[in-house]
Structure 1
């Protein structure tokens, strides 16, 4: 069902149309909770050894990424090393905190769960919300194929895959111009590509590399270590994948705000999305 909102004469009317099914809304908000706490507890785990390597073993003198503390003019500073290049990141990476609580640590206390140093608690939080994410994701996939949400709403049409169309959408979004009217009823190719990439590439890759870092799971499936090139490579891919998911979330939030904060939030709470229609409401 749709609902028309009344508007003064001379102004375009807005039509409330169905946008998100109940299962999509419920699994979305569970994902928000699970991903947020999984990422923050993951940073707590990372802080136990804030460096990344490639291969099967840790070559402590050759990390491709490291966050540690240094010194400048007798004062402690945070230093982040990426591919051999060093950057001062005091207060954010390597050394953070206020006053007497300032200390060497990879990520700052406000970004981790728990905020204090506790690897064991970090692992408990991480594993709990990781399994919640997996179960929630499987429920979403099963029901989204049953109600045809993925093949109907997210699978790209042939016309959308044409390079000219993709480039047009990139330019339109770069100018912060968003679909209006009937066009706003459906996802554009950039949304479809981003959502499908997260659902079928990033999240499965993050889960698989996470399992590869478990000695117990490696005993049951030793081929995972060969697939990802060793436990340290799996840890690096896990970190990169998580970083890409954070980037997706930031861009997603920016687009939500730019295209209409309340309209987008309402659609993910009530399922209804407002679009502009030709003519005035009477």
Structure 2
């Protein structure tokens, strides 16, 4: 391919050695992806700052300050300070990680350590301000992504598995376990596991996260009292918000791990420029 031909608008380009570059992500998908990365990072860190002001989770309409179902804190064990996580009355020692961590060389009572919160020092007001700003930016960015996804074939192509893909769902699971990454024609589209995962994240986990967050707002509760009925109380909404956030963190960890294992440069190029190298079709052996 000549240099002039390479500059022509196309959704596919051949490379020396037989590999092929395909246009995997549109500009809107790439832009909203990176805005989400920024928003979710700021939301997680500021959210942990907010949680530290009341480091326990409850269910229903009111908090149980005496014996909450889930809590992170600090006390003494065998005459020494310790951090703990309490789950329905069972305490687990988490000294140095949760409940009691080092700050400026001294053990400090904090549910989550300073390096995980924004700001690092305890400041509920600043944490809430940061959280609200990036929460609304996240919602606006999500609306842009949803409008684009429904206006184009994006959701139907990348979120809905085909019948053929579902028939080979077991094989896709085995390939993931064995870290076998597709090449050639197979790499042009997401497999069934990827599509179902993205569907659950975009249409189940993220809306649940946002709705639970809105339910904790007295102003929105006044305007939409149905939110409290939906979750059965503000404390339940707070717990759902917390667990949905950490479900999202787990998804991101797995997502980043697969990006690293399947090719950092290729994956990053596709999410920055849109171009993805699908490689060559594996040779079949008679």
Q: TM-score, normalised by structure 1?
A: 0.93
Structure 2 CA distance, aligned partners of 1:241 and 1:226? 19
Match of 2:133 in 1: 128
Structure 1 CA distance, aligned partners of 2:280 and 2:166? 27
Q: In the TM superposition, what whole-angstrom CA distance separates every residue of 1:37-71 from its partner, at most 9, and x where no partner exists?
A: 00110000000010001111111233221000022
- In structure 2, do the counterparts of structure 1 residues 278 and 173 end up closer, same or farther at CA, with 3 Å as the change threshold? closer
Q: Which of these residues, 218, 221, 230, is aligned with residue 218 of structure 1?
A: 221
- Any residues of structure 2 matched to 1:82-161 within 5 Å, and which? 82-98=87-103, 100-161=105-166
**Equivalent pair of 1:169/1:189 in contact (CA under 8 Å):** yes
Instruction: Count the aligned residue pairs.
Output: 273
- In structure 2, do the counterparts of structure 1 residues 99 and 77 end up closer, same or farther at CA, with 3 Å as the change threshold? farther
Gaps (5+ residues) in structure 1?
8-12
Structure 2 CA distance, aligned partners of 1:96 and 1:61? 23
Structure 1 CA distance, aligned partners of 2:19 and 2:165? 26
Match of 1:10 in 2: none
Are residues 1:262 and 2:272 paired?
no
Q: Which of these residues, 240, 247, 258, is aligned with residue 244 of structure 1?
A: 247
Q: CA deviation at 1:211?
A: 0.7
Are residues 1:207 and 2:210 paired?
yes
Structure 1 CA distance, aligned partners of 2:56 and 2:272? 40
- In structure 2, do the counterparts of structure 1 residues 117 and 275 end up closer, same or farther at CA, with 3 Å as the change threshold? same
**Equivalent pair of 1:65/1:82 in contact (CA under 8 Å):** yes
Structure 2 CA distance, aligned partners of 1:171 and 1:131? 39
- Any residues of structure 2 matched to 1:157-168 within 5 Å, and which? 157-162=162-167, 165-168=168-171
- Any residues of structure 2 matched to 1:35-74 within 5 Å, and which? 35-74=40-79
Structure 2 CA distance, aligned partners of 1:272 and 1:100? 47
- In structure 2, do the counterparts of structure 1 residues 236 and 31 end up closer, same or farther at CA, with 3 Å as the change threshold? same
- Detail structure 1 runs of 4+ shifted over 6 Å in the superposition: none
